[in-house]
């Protein structure tokens, strides 16, 4: 029986195995994903992003507990594009979420590897699809930081929660700039800190002024203290409101189209490069180009021109 | 006269124009870059990265002042992959570095655009090449955050400075994980804060334990208070030591090879995709695939298979 068939029958170990294959970029994984794809589309996918230190892990832990009380099964994908070097995310996997460790209704997976081909947002999408096909009601994607990678990653979600903390310092403007557009719900966590209300006000004003946002959903700014489970119920209600809005307004269709288009493009980019790059290696062209560059007999721009001209003669 | 020729004659406006073209992804830019390439390789390229709020801009400002005192010409590329949405970096350009604004020996450029093709680390490399060809003695690449994008970007540098602040909170481990390997010099800025010595010790221990690092350079952890110009002289001396080490140990050759290889690969990836994606749009294939995906007549994995099979029949 294929991994995909085992997964559809509820085999957790098969799911873990396939996710490892996805992370490794194994070719077989794609065949399994093809089988699972028609069984996806039921999970509510939540993205949680925000700067390091905002308490996202604790928040995810509390959201998970809240959904468990509502009888939902939860998948969690913790994505850390910065940690391929030291296997940080794998360590994280072991030490975090202890209280859900023995709960069959919670499935946790860390993704750290980002190969030379990029594509971590794509493998995140693949892992979300596996969890979706497994029958998880809610899949939470949590990112470690809030760079462009993370923005690409949370775009896989239906509802994106941006987590901030009071008074992040000088660069708060810079952080906010890129994420105003992607947040459907904003959370100021660690709301027992002194600057909370000012940060909430600042965010609210920036959201008010922000013209780039599309659609008629107006994001709210909520306060939470994840460590003390304060404000979590309200946060889950707000996420569910956004989900209802997506379905009610017809935005869901548009959102799915964007998601598929992004997946297709990411994969196409990756596969095209693998194909051509592989050939350049096999026939020795790559080594020759590198030598020419080292000796400055050519420049990188001209070298690429030549490869393209050879692959796509017009 | 071509832009490249004007730039080689010291025309600053031509350089600014070419950098805009690079940012816009103009095809003509590549022809100019080909001309400039043989005139590159003289500048000392410094990468400055670290989490938001670490005071990187102030630090860059002080490093610039220090190099100016030494009679060097400085190019600065401030890279913000998160800000395409709101043009944050352009605003940043205007308000920062005021004291160097009238100094002919300082050339500042912000890069924010990251198109659908990715490639901001590549355009950073292009802009560094322009500054190098312009005759800048030192080029500083400063990133806003510290995600994978930023790591790719600072890999363009000869010497990478990682800036931290005392007591960044829970996620400091996660931040450190990815950047231990890329830092040649570590700086704990805002060293007047209470937790400074603990953070310095923690970093030193992590660097000590870190096995992944290659070569025989041992990064130091320095303390600075950029706002009061404390520790800047020592920092510049340490960067210059690293530079001397690169030349002395023969690492420079290896580093350049890696840099060229990365530039070639990035460009190849981008151009391959543009080529194929462009054709899929022109002949209507892309629209058909998107419709099939929306109606779930196919899945993204199979759709990519088909395109590849058509482009590269074996």
Dump the DSSP string for A112-128: ---BTTB-HHHHHHHHH
Query: B101: distance to nearest CA of chain A, Å?
Result: 21
At residue B95, the pLDDT reads 45
Distance from C-alpha of B199 to C-alpha of B250, rounded to nearest angstrom: 33
Range name among A83-97, A178-192, B233-247 with the lowest pLDDT average = A83-97
Q: Check residue B192 and give its pLDDT.
A: 93
Q: Is the predicted pLDDT of residue A170 greater than 50, yes or no?
A: no
Q: Is the pLDDT of residue A90 over 60?
A: no
Nearest C-alpha of chain B: how many angstroms from A265?
8
**Between B3 and A146, the higher pLDDT residue:** B3
Do residue A180 and residue B307 have CB atoms under 8 angstroms apart? no
* C-alpha radius of gyration, chain A, whole number: 21
Do the chains contact at B172 and A52, CB–CB below 8 Å? yes
Which residues in chain B have their CB less than 8 angstroms from residue A79's CB? Answer: none
Q: In this predicted structure, what is the pLDDT of residue A266?
A: 84
Residue with tokens 């989490």: B51
> Residue range A173-201: average pLDDT?
82
Are A79 and A144 a contacting pair, CB within 8 Å?
yes
Long-range contacts from A15-18, C-beta under 8 angstroms, 24+ separation? A15/A107, A15/A130, A15/A131, A15/A134, A16/A109, A18/A130
What pLDDT digit, counting tens, does each position of B66-77 carry? 999 999 999 999
Residue with tokens 């947040």: A183
Check residue B293 and give its pLDDT: 87
One-character DSSP codes across A48-101: EE--TTS-HHHHHHHHHHHHHHTT--EEEEEE-TT-TTTTHHHHHHHHS-GGGT
Please compute, for residue B111, the number of CA atoms within 13 A of its CA located in the half-sphere on the CB side.
Answer: 32
Range with the lowest mean pLDDT among A28-42, A110-124, B68-82?
A110-124
**CB–CB of A88/B173 below 8 Å?**
yes
Residue A36 confidence (pLDDT) = 95
Is a pLDDT exceeding 50 seen at residue A116?
Answer: no
Identify all chain B residues contacting A294, using CB atoms and an 8 Å cutoff.
Answer: 253, 256-257, 260
Distance from C-alpha of B218 to C-alpha of A96, rounded to nearest angstrom: 32
Q: Residue A136 — φ and ψ, nearest 5°?
A: -65, 135
Q: Which segments of A210-250 does DSSP mark as H helices, in order?
A: 232-249
DSSP result, B204-239: HHHHHH-----SS---EEEE-BGGGTBSHHHHHHHH
What is the Cα–Cα distance from B265 to A82, expressed in whole angstroms?
Answer: 20
ipTM above 0.90, yes or no: no
What are the backbone angles phi and psi of residue B105, rounded to the nearest 5°? -85, 5
C-alpha distances (whole Å) from B146 to each of A115, A175, B174, B178, B294 are: 18, 12, 11, 9, 36
When mean pLDDT is compared across A9-18, A92-101, A274-283, A302-311, the lowest value belongs to A92-101
> Which residue is it, tokens 């996710």?
A19
The pLDDT tens digits for A235-258 are: 999 999 999 999 888 888 888 888
Contact B276 A293 (CB under 8 A): no
Tell me the Cα Rg of chain B: 21
Helix (H) or strand (E) holding A202: helix A196-209
Q: Are B221 and B186 in contact (CB under 8 A)?
A: yes
Structure tokens at B191: 């060293």
For A3, phi and psi rounded to 5 degrees? -55, -45
Distance CA A16, CA B257 (A): 39
- Phi, then psi, of B168 in degrees rounded to 5: -75, -5
Asked if the Cβ–Cβ distance from B273 to A271 is below 8 Å, we say: no
Query: Would you state the pLDDT for residue A147?
Result: 66
Enter the tokens of residue A6: 């085992």
CA distance, residue A303 to nearest chain B CA (Å): 8
Dist CA A158 CA A251 (whole Å)? 10
Among B48, B56, B177, B214, the strongest candidate for a mutation testing the A interface, having the largest count of A CBs within 10 A, is B177
How does the average pLDDT of chain A come out, rounded? 84
- What local confidence, expressed as pLDDT, does residue A54 receive? 86
* pLDDT of res. A88: 38
* Chain A environment of B151 (Cβ under 8 Å): 82
Which pLDDT score is estimated for B94? 39
The string of DSSP codes covering chain B is --HHHHHHTT-HHHHHHHHHHHHHT-HHHHHHHHHHGGG-S-SEEEEEE--TTS-HHHHHHHHHHHHHHTT--EEEEEE-TT-TTTTHHHHHHHHS-GGGTT-TTEEEEEE---BTTB-HHHHHHHHHHHHHHHT-SEEEEEESS-SHHHHHHHTTSSEEEEEE-S---TTHHHHHHHHTTT-SEEEE-STTSTTHHHHHHHHHHHHHH-----SS---EEEE-BGGGTBSHHHHHHHHHHHHHHHHHHTHHHHHHHHHHHHHHHHHHHHHHHHHHHHHHHHTTHHHHHHHHHHTTSS-HHHHHHHHHHHHS--
Using a CB-CB cut-off of 8 Å, the residues of chain B touching A259 are none
> In the sheet where A220-223 sits, what is the strand order?
A106-111, A74-79, A138-143, A44-49, A159-164, A185-188, A220-223
pLDDT of residue A294: 83
pLDDT at A31: 92
End-to-end Cα spacing for chain B: 46
Q: A187: which DSSP letter? A: E
CA distance A136 to A41: 11
Size of interface A-B (CB pairs under 8 A): 230
SS3 A10: coil
| Cβ pair A55:B170 closer than 8 A | yes
* Cα of B72 to nearest chain A Cα, Å: 26
**Nearest residue in chain B measured CA to CA from A85:** B178
Question: Are the beta carbons of B107 and B15 closer than 8 angstroms?
Answer: yes
Terminal Cα distance for chain A, rounded? 46
pLDDT below 50 — which residues of chain B? 83-95, 115-118, 170-171
A42-56, A163-177, A207-221, B144-158: which has the minimum mean pLDDT?
A: A163-177
The mean pLDDT of A191-201, rounded to a whole number, is 90
Comparison of pLDDT for A295 and A72, the residue scoring more: A72
A271 vs B71, residue with greater confidence: B71
B172–chain A nearest CA distance, Å = 7
């Amino acid at each position: 029986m294929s991994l995909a068939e085992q997964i559809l029958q509820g085999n957790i170990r098969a799911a873990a195995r396939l996710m490892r294959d996805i992370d490794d970029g194994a070719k077989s994984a794609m065949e399994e994903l093809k089988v699972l794809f028609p069984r996806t589309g039921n999970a509510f996918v939540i993205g949680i992003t925000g700067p390091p230190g905002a308490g996202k892990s604790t928040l995810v832990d509390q959201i998970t507990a809240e959904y468990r009380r509502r009888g939902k099964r939860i998948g969690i994908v913790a994505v850390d594009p910065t940690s391929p070097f030291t296997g940080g995310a794998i360590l994280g996997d072991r030490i975090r979420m202890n209280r859900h460790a023995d709960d069959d209704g919670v499935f946790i997976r860390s993704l750290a590897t980002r190969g030379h081909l990029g594509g971590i947002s794509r493998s995140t999408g693949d892992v979300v699809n596996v969890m979706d096909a497994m029958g998880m009601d809610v899949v939470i994607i949590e990112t470690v930081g809030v760079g462009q990678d993370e923005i690409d990653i949370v775009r896989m979600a239906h509802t994106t929660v941006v987590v901030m903390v009071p008074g992040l310092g000088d660069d708060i403007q810079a952080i906010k700039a890129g994420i105003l557009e992607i947040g459907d719900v904003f959370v100021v966590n660690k709301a027992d800190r002194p600057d909370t209300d000012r940060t909430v006000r600042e965010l609210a004003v920036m959201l008010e002024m922000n013209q780039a946002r599309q659609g008629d959903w107006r994001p709210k700014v909520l306060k939470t203290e994840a460590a003390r489970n304060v404000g979590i119920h309200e946060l889950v209600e707000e996420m569910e409101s956004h989900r209802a809005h997506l379905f009610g307004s017809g935005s869901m269709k548009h959102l799915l189209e964007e998601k598929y288009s992004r997946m297709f493009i990411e994969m196409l980019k990756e596969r095209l490069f693998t194909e051509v790059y592989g050939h350049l290696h096999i026939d020795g062209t790559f080594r020759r180009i590198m030598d020419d560059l080292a000796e400055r007999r050519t420049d990188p721009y001209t070298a690429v021109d030549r490869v393209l001209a050879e692959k796509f003669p017009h």
